[in-house]
């Protein structure tokens, strides 16, 4: 019976341990935290967005960091397999807006409990509060691991699934990168992905907590368009966040790292052409002709946003509507569709939902997840240089990689 060690009880690690045990291995799962699945507990705002119901090519397109690397592993264990797995474990699922898949209960705890229950059912030995420091080799191949306490565990194969370097409070403190680097693996520089952005403009503090739906946001670097997304965002005391902002943050981080001047241009009324928006503004002005400019926009904008927009358009909020010139009105329309924020930096990597960068995919077999440099060493999850947009894609990637690593660690006879 093969002895398999899995380091890290996150989604990838637990799935790897389950699959290895189902294939007849004796499996030990080593986790540094007091409980398994700590980071899973906070995904999807505590509801756990386990996957996405789109077809596989669409999912891979949304894995913007090395999605093609997952072609084999995802086709071997795709989103339908993930949904079936949880249903079989007694966790029914539902599909929501954007094809996001959640447990019907809306409780991440149910997802984690189901995986832990399956591990126990299969006889997987779970060792908690057991941080690993080194992967041990013998004659060039994996022989086991050493823990922080000095304990040694022997193994025929080791699966490294310790997560990235974001949300360190959940156990993702970058340990895996150090272990992989000691074994001569290349670590692609780490950057935050799915992280809020900080802005230079102070007015965002005045509108913090305000959410906007149906906004088109365009990311600009040195004046050139980098990325454009449509959807929901929110202002914070330091800048901006929300689904479309998080999805653009990887590119923003890259542009900032390259020393570029980064801006975010917001179209608050993307459904209207400039001409139609101008006509709409004129109708509102006719209705509120005896009011001040700030009160003449109450039907067009959220109350909190009116004065910042007028300020950006260089218009006096107290000016009577009937005194607004055509040129001033056109300036207002321009601002409504090109409200620009200067991005100064991302929030810290520790606050990112996902880490971009990690163990280079060039050094991992995409079918088996085995290292091309060290026989018997497998990788799965966020420790690998793979990351995706928000929407269930990152957890799907973790489950697919975990499945491949768990199965092939048992099947391989190298």
- Decide: 170 and 8 in contact? Cβ < 8 Å: no
Tell me what pLDDT residue 125 has.
98
CA distance readout (Å), 29 to 87, 138, 155, 162: 23, 21, 12, 11
Whole-model pTM: value is 0.90
CA atoms within 13 A on the CB side of 257: 11
Tell me what pLDDT residue 153 has.
97
E strand or H helix at 283: helix 274-287
- Decide: 195 and 353 in contact? Cβ < 8 Å: yes
d(CA 359, CA 342) in angstroms, rounded, equals 32
Quick check: helix, strand or coil at residue 120?
helix
Locate CATH 3.50.50.60 in the chain. 3-190+356-411
| Residues in the chain, total | 414
Which residue stretches of the chain have pLDDT < 70? Answer: 414
d(CA 87, CA 237) in angstroms, rounded, equals 41
Sign of the CA dihedral with 32 first, then 36, 37, and 38 last: negative
Quick check: helix, strand or coil at residue 208?
coil
- Between strands 354-359 and 187-193, the pairing is antiparallel
Tell me what pLDDT residue 414 has.
65
Residue 410: alpha-carbon gap to chain centroid:
30
CATH 3.30.460.10 describes domain 196-346:
no
- Between strands 377-379 and 157-160, the pairing is parallel
Locate CATH 1.10.8.50 in the chain. 196-346
Comparing CA positions, the residue from 411, 409, 407, 408 lying closest to residue 22 is 407
- Decide: 137 and 156 in contact? Cβ < 8 Å: no
d(CA 281, CA 286) in angstroms, rounded, equals 9
d(CA 55, CA 260) in angstroms, rounded, equals 36
Helices (H), 135-265: 175-182, 243-257
CATH superfamily membership of 3-190+356-411:
FAD/NAD(P)-binding domain (3.50.50.60)
- Decide: 9 and 115 in contact? Cβ < 8 Å: no
d(CA 49, CA 106) in angstroms, rounded, equals 9
Tell me what pLDDT residue 17 has.
98
């Amino acid at each position: 019976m093969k002895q398999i060690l899995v380091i890290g009880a996150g989604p990838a690690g637990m799935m790897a341990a389950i699959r290895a045990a189902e294939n007849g291995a004796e499996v030990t799962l080593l986790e540094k935290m007091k409980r398994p699945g700590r980071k899973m507990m906070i995904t999807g705002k505590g509801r756990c967005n386990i996957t996405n119901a789109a077809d596989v090519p669409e999912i891979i397109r949304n894995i913007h960091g090395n999605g093609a690397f997952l072609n084999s592993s995802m086709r071997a264990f795709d989103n339908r397999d993930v949904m079936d797995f949880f249903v079989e474990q007694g966790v029914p699922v539902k599909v929501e807006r954007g094809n996001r898949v959640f447990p019907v209960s809306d409780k991440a705890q149910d997802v984690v409990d189901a995986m832990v229950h399956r591990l126990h059912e299969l006889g997987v030995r779970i060792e908690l509060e057991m941080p690993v420091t080194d992967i041990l080799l013998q004659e060039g191949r994996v022989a086991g691991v050493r823990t922080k306490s000095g304990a040694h565990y022997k193994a025929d194969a080791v699966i490294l699934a310790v997560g990235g370097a974001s949300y360190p409070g959940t156990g993702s403190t970058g340990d895996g990168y150090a272990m992989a680097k000691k074994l001569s693996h290349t670590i692609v520089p780490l950057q935050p992905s799915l992280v809020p952005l900080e802005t230079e403009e102070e007015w965002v503090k005045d509108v913090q907590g305000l959410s906007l739906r149906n906004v088109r946001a365009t990311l600009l670097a040195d004046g050139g368009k980098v990325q454009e997304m449509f959807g929901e965002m929110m202002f914070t005391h330091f800048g901006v966040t929300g689904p479309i902002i998080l999805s653009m943050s990887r590119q923003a981080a890259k542009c900032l790292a390259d020393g570029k001047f980064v801006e975010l241009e917001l179209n608050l009324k993307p459904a209207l052409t400039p001409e139609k928006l101008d006509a709409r503004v004129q109708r509102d002005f006719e209705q509120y002709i005896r009011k001040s400019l700030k009160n003449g926009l109450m039907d067009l904008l959220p109350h909190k946003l009116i004065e910042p927009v007028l300020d950006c358009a260089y218009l006096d909020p107290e000016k009577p509507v009937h005194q607004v010139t055509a040129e001033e009105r056109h300036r207002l329309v321009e601002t409504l569709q090109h409200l620009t924020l200067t991005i100064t930096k991302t929030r810290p990597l520790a606050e990112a939902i996902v880490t971009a960068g990690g163990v280079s995919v060039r050094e991992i077999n995409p079918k088996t997840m085995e290292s091309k440099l060290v026989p018997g060493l497998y990788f799965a999850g966020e420790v690998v240089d793979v990351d995706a947009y928000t929407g269930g894609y990152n957890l799907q990637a973790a489950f697919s990689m975990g499945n491949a690593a768990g199965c092939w660690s048992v099947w391989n006879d190298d």
